[in-house]
Structure formats: C-alpha cells, structure tokens
Structure 1
Amino acid sequence: MNLTARSTAPELMDDLTLATEELRQNLDELETINTWLGGYQPVLGALARLRPCFPAGRPLRLADLGSGGGDTLRHIARWARRRQVPVELTGVDANEFMLGYATQKSAIYPEILYSNFDILSPQFTAQEYDILTASLFCHHFTDAELIGLLRSWQQQAGLAVVINDLHRHPLAYYSIKYLTRLLGGSRLVQNDAPLSVARAFSRADWQRLLAEAGITRYELRWCWAFRWQVIIYNNDVCNA
C-alpha cells in the first residue's frame, strides 16, 4: 500500500443506506478498538483544555458530526457527569440505521439526542453550537470538500471545533489490518479499518488543509495511538 498520499478508495461504510446486522457488529467492534487504543482521548483531552472557556449559566451545546454509533458522545457524557458539567449533546448522522442504533445504546443518557441532518444544508448550519466535534469523520471527505467544511465549521462553532482523526502511517495501517484479521473482525471492519488509515492525514496534510481554509488559530497534536487532535478556535476569549 502506497501511503505517500491520501487514498481516494471508498469505504463500505460510505454507503448511507447500509443497514445490516453486520453493520451493528462493526459498530460494536469499532467501539472496542477505540477503547483499547485510547481513541477517545483526543476529544476528551481537548474538552479539558477548553473547559475554562465553557459558557457560564447554561449547558454546553456540543454536536458530534458523523456520530455513527454514538460512542464518542457517550464518553463525553460520562466525562461531563464526573465533572458536573451540564451539557446538551447532539449526534448528527445521515444513516438512519446508525441513528437508531446510537439512540438505543444511549438510552441512559438523556443529555444526548440524535438528528438526521445534512451537514451541508442551511438547516444544519443555522444551528448554534459551542463546540463541534468530528471523530474519524474528516477522512471520509476529499481535500476540496474538507477545506470548505473546516471553514464552515469554524464559523458555526461559538467556541471551537475539535477533530479526532487518524495518522496515515505504515505502522498504523499494517497493525490495524492484521489486528482486525487476528481478532476475526467483521468484513466491514477488516475492509474499512486499514482503508481509513490510508485515507487519513499526515501533519503536513493538516497544515496545508487548514492554511487553504484560511484557518490560523488552531492547535495540532499527535496522540496515541496514531491519532491527530486538531482544535480550531473561534472565540477570541479562548485562544490557543
């Protein structure tokens, strides 16, 4: 596999009509993998950094874009509960099966709601949020699409945009490829997990994409295991 540039091959999960028991198994497996490999820490760590800037006197409004099975939001809800931080969490996804799955899995979290929004629509961009999060979502877009989204997200988020995505690296690619086979993962996860790494980003990619989006106020960190944490600031009071 040539990892010098981002792959443009589609993932099976890109099919928004996908609604099978295999998809349910895949979502369960992804949550397990993310838990093992510290895949939620880029978002939770960013929230900890941003906490001094949270709005006073009302809940923090946060939307997770491409929320999938809702696992990131459940981790955020537990993080907020432990710290007594009031939150209103919204999961946004275009796949109805995933929304149903996530709603069922999040039944004990009344602070989480799920919505079927087209993130490119005026209806979505009119929604007001303090923080937008995107976990393992950005690599599903082309560079040109992502540049426009980054610009739009920075304008929409009152405080910040938090991105958690993969580092395109040979060790990450081959490790996840053989790990999912060794563990007997579903066809979806065996296909999409390594392909997600191939579609993901280097540090230079992020620096170029952010520059082309006209974004200068951001932090970019590498996190274990082979993740990028990007915090894009909007609020002048909470600067990098």
Structure 2
Amino acid sequence: MRVPVLRTRAIDAVEIMDGDCDPEKLDRTYADFPVVNRVVSGWRGMYRRSIRPGLSTTRPSTLLDIGSGGGDVSRCLARWAARDGLRLEVTAIDPDPRAHAWASAQPAVAGLTFRRALSSELVAEGARFDFVVSNHILHHLNAAELQGVLADSQALARCGALHADIARGRLAYLGFSLGTWPFFRRSYIRADGLTSIRRSFTARELRAVAPPGWRVRRAHPYRLELRWRAPQASTSAAATGAAPDVRPDA
C-alpha cells in the first residue's frame, strides 16, 4: 500500500461526509463511529483523568461537546458519569443538520441534550459550562475557525477545555488503513479517516498555532490533547472540585 507524503497538512483535502454525499452511507458512518472511537479516541482515559475528578455526587456539573457529530462521545460521557454516581449534564452541539437529526433520533440518554448550533452562538447567548470538550474537530477547521473555536471555548468554560484529535504520522495512516480495510465497506469511515489523518496536526504544528495558555499533550497511539485551564480554576479547584486535569505537555 502506498502511504502519501505526510510532511505537511493536506488542508485542501475534503472528507466525503462534509459534502453532498449518500445519506444512507452517511447514516452508517454515524452508526460506525462508536466502534472506531472506542478503539482510537481514548475518551475513557480522558474522562477518568480530566473530567471525573471534577464531578460530584451532589452538585451538578455541566459539559459542552462541540461538533458532536453522531453523539457517541457525548453519550459515553453522560453514561460513565451516571454509572459512577456523579451528576453531569451534557450538551452536545453540531451545526450540521444531518448530524443533529441522526443524533437526536437515537435513544435518549439521561442528562444529555442535543442542539443544532455553533459554539459562537452559545457565546452570544451568554452560556457557560464547567467543561468544554471536542473530539476530532480541530483538523476540520481552517486557521480562523480554529482560533474562533478556541476563543469560544475559553468564553464558555468555567474550569477548562479539552480538545482531542488525531496526530498525523505515517504509522497512524498505515495502521488505520490496514486496520479498517476489511471493515466499514458501506460507510465513509475508512476513506474519511485516512483524509482526516492527512489533514491533522503534529504536536509541534498544534503548539505553534495554539493561543497563550493552551497546552498540547501527546497521547498514544497518535493522539493529541489540546488543553486549557481557566485562571480561576487553579485557585478554586480544591473548593469546587470542578477543575479538569490540564497538565503541561506529557
């Protein structure tokens, strides 16, 4: 298999599902996301390290998932908190009407609300959340959109933000290509996943564009975590228990 040159981001590459595509294959792609994310996204560990320590059995906390797509990460976060006996209200937003329709049509999960919206619209409303997160949206954004989402995250988050994404690399591309080759033939998972890797940042590239106060953490395999902690969270964490673990690079 030929691996493309990955020295620079393929910012002009477009994922199929971001355009006018087959609605049935798109629905199957949303349905396949939970399988892929369980294997590659690492959200269970991020929940344990960065979200669960700030939750309470008595005081409700709030979390915003930006660009939630089919909503599988949002569902997992709401369910994990409930199973741990912790109070968490999750709001999942996506501006794509197709993603919102698919996610809203799935069985309801207690504590989870879906909205068709942009993060900037929530900022305009004056909304606030304890945590702001996203999964695999950074590589979709152009330079202005990326800065906008990060600025929105700071405006929306009382305690901290965590944006998780893919790290570009030849082994990541080769591994995903080989690992998905026998599967997902009726969805866009494989084709768009490979495009996503080509569009993604390296840790150095993400650090170069991250605003002051944001930290990039490398995770494995081929994962990046872009983290920000609200200034007041450092001093109030002990009192509120609401500050996520936003440690420097590791």
TM-score between both structures, scaled by the size of structure 2: 0.82
Partner amino acid for 1:34? N
1:237 equivalent among 210, 233, 236: 233
Other-structure match for 2:16: 12
Residues 99-141 of structure 1, C-alpha deviations (whole Å, 9 max, x = no match): 232223341x121010011233366562211111110011100
The 8 Å contact of residues 46 and 162 in structure 1, kept in 2 or not, is answered as no
AA in 1 matched with 2:53: R
Secondary structure of 1:131's match? Answer: strand
C-alpha change, 1:42 and 1:141, in structure 2 (3 Å) is farther
Provide the aligned C-alpha RMSD in A: 2.4
Q: Which residue of 1 aligns with 2:138?
A: 138
User: Percent identity at matched positions?
Assistant: 23
| Corresponding residue pairs, total | 232
Given the alignment of the two structures, is residue 223 of structure 1 paired with residue 223 of structure 2, yes or no?
Answer: no
| Match of residue 22 from structure 1 | 25
Distance in structure 1 (CA, Å) of the matches to 2:48 and 2:72 = 16
Identify the residue that residue 200 of structure 2 maps to in structure 1: 200
Most deviating of 17-26 and 198-207: 17-26
Given that residues 29 and 185 in structure 1 are in contact (C-alpha distance below 8 angstroms), is that contact kept between their aligned partners in structure 2? no
Aligned AA for 1:102? A
> Moved runs in structure 1, 4+ residues, more than 4 A?
54-57, 122-125
Alpha-carbon offset, residue 152 of structure 1: 2.7
Matched, 1:33 2:31: no
Paired position in structure 1 for 2:75: 74
Query: What is the CA-CA distance between 1:144 and the residue it aligns to?
Result: 3.3
Closer, same or farther: CA 137–154 of 1 in aligned 2, 3 Å: same
User: Gapped runs of 5+ residues in structure 1?
Assistant: none
Aligned to 1:97: 98
Say which SS state the counterpart of residue 230 (structure 1) adopts. strand
- After superposition, the C-alpha distances for 1:33-87 in whole angstroms (9 at most, x for unaligned) are 1212353235414434x624x5896411111011011110111012211222111
SS in 1 for 2:145: helix
- What is the CA distance between 1:19 and its match in structure 2? 6.9
Aligned residue type for 1:198: R
User: What secondary structure does 2:82 align onto?
Assistant: helix
**Aligned mates of 2:150, 2:119 — CA distance in 1:** 12
2:87 — aligned with what? 86
> Residues of 1 paired with 2:147 and 2:22: CA distance?
30
Using structure 1 for the length normalisation, give the TM-score.
0.85
Cα distance between partner residues in 1 of 2:152 and 2:46: 20
* Distance change in 2, residues 1:144/1:154 (3 Å): same
In the alignment, is the contact (CA less than 8 A) between 1:60 and 1:86 conserved in 2? Answer: yes
Closer, same or farther: CA 110–164 of 1 in aligned 2, 3 Å = same
8 Å contact kept, 1:91–1:114: yes
> Secondary structure, in 3 states, of the residue corresponding to 2:120?
coil
Specify whether residues 178 and 208 from structure 1 end up closer, same or farther in structure 2 by C-alpha distance, changes over 3 A only.
same
CA contact (8 A) 1:99 1:114 kept: yes
State whether residues 70 and 106 of structure 1, in contact with CA within 8 Å, keep that contact through their aligned partners in structure 2. no
